[in-house]
Amino acid sequence: MSNPVMCLLFYRETDIILKMPAVRKLAIIALNEIFKGGKPKDTLESLSEKLNARDRAFLMELVYGVLRHRDTLDWISKGFLKKPQRLTRETVNNLRLGAYQILYTRVPEWAAVNETVKLEKKAPGVLNAVLRNIIRKREQLTSELNNMREAALNPSTPNMTRTSHIATVTSHPRWLIKRWIKRFGYKEAFELAEANNKIPPLTLRVNTLKTNRDEVIKRLKALDIDCEPTTISPDGIKLKGTHAFRDFSDLKGYIFVQDEAAQLITYMLDPQPGEKVLDACAAPGGKTTHIAQLMGDSGEIIAVEYDEKRIARLEENISALGLSSIRIIKADITDLKNTEIMKLCPFDRIMLDAPCSSTGVIRRNPDIKYRRRAEDLLVFRKKQLDMLRSVSALLKPGGILVYSTCSTEPDEGEEVIRGFLKTSRDFYIIKDVPFAEGLCVDGFLRTYPHKHDMDGFFGVRLYKNP
């Protein structure tokens, strides 16, 4: 279970001990807020405003570490608790932080215990006893988890037990593990879940209107940032190791942080200079700005977004990249009575990156594992189908529409498209996607963290008959 986390390497042990109380207190506050429904990124940004770079990194590691391994930590702790249901939410999160530091970081064991107990108001004695038991039985716990891993991959183990073991060891909900087992089998389901718990690489998209990939790679290496070109996207650079945007802030405007899978979705659209393109769900602007980039910042791109806060972020990203061909419209894309949008249609191409369960980006947003329920997929599917039907009416005959989601689930991908095509006879799937050979089956693009070291994305190109 030893898994020294990269950002903790910035700290000497004495640094960790000295910084721990204040940062740990913030970590408890963050976890309380996140498990009440707050978004990790927004929560951490508000709490870390006054922290220096190292403390901010430590805070993020503590919070994201607990989010990735929450259910495993709870399974371990409950073995030493007589009445876990009596603990308050704050006490439970404090315990999770202490256990996480002992089991997954280089924080000295005594420091993790002492600071957990100091910060505990309700049950300091209980937490002290549990954490000391975890330290005392660390080898036994490690062995038990390893045995569970082996049993989960052993066909002679009862199926329900195998499913339970994978869910516990990888800290994923059983309903999701069951779905993956049905589709992929036990081994691959386990691999996907484990991939979701690894710290993902930071991937950049080069703004080719201002520079080129080779030049950006040279500048990154001059900053001692090891990196390599992405394997499929011609605009991408994958960073090695753990980095934050501040490490290469001088490149602002020349790069955009965007996973390679998301970059491939824009290449599926293949927008051409001078065209009129609609991005139906535009914020925060990754695909919108990439569309403009591929069009040479010519033509007209209509970026539709309803949320004011997301529009502000969209505007900021457009400005940073120096783009002028994008026009933002605040609207609900399913409202076909919106005169501003209707005056602009029909469009040559449409991008619909639909709101979804986000199960494809769990490795970046581990709280998603605990937010989603199986029934949510049906709700998302209905909304996605409604949106697809709405935006398809805005496409000109002979035009191309790309539908995508950052979901691993067919309910939000293939099934939505099949449902759409049953009632939209003038559309068909473009099955030939040359640049994505090996990622496409019958025109359906699929990427996965465990197979491609990319976020889990679905994409498809639809053509509207003239």
Q: Which residues are catalytic?
A: 406
Distance CA 403, CA 268 (A): 10
> How many residues are present in the chain?
466
Would you say 263 and 230 are in contact if contact means Cβ atoms under 8 Å apart? yes
Could you give the residue ranges of the DSSP H alpha helices within 280-394?
A: 286-294, 308-320, 339-342, 368-371, 374-392
Would you say 443 and 461 are in contact if contact means Cβ atoms under 8 Å apart? yes
Q: Which two tokens stand for residue 375?
A: 């029934």
Q: What amino acid occupies position 292?
A: A
Would you say 341 and 331 are in contact if contact means Cβ atoms under 8 Å apart? yes
Q: Ramachandran region of residue 236, left (φ > 0), alpha (ψ -120 to 50) or beta?
A: beta
Pairing of strands 236-239, 203-206: antiparallel
Which of 150, 303, 110, 286 is closest to 205 using CA atoms?
286
Distance CA 145, CA 100 (A): 15
In DSSP terms, 239 is beta-bridged to: 227
What residues contact residue 144 under an 8 Å CB cut-off, 6+ apart? none
Distance CA 456, CA 264 (A): 12
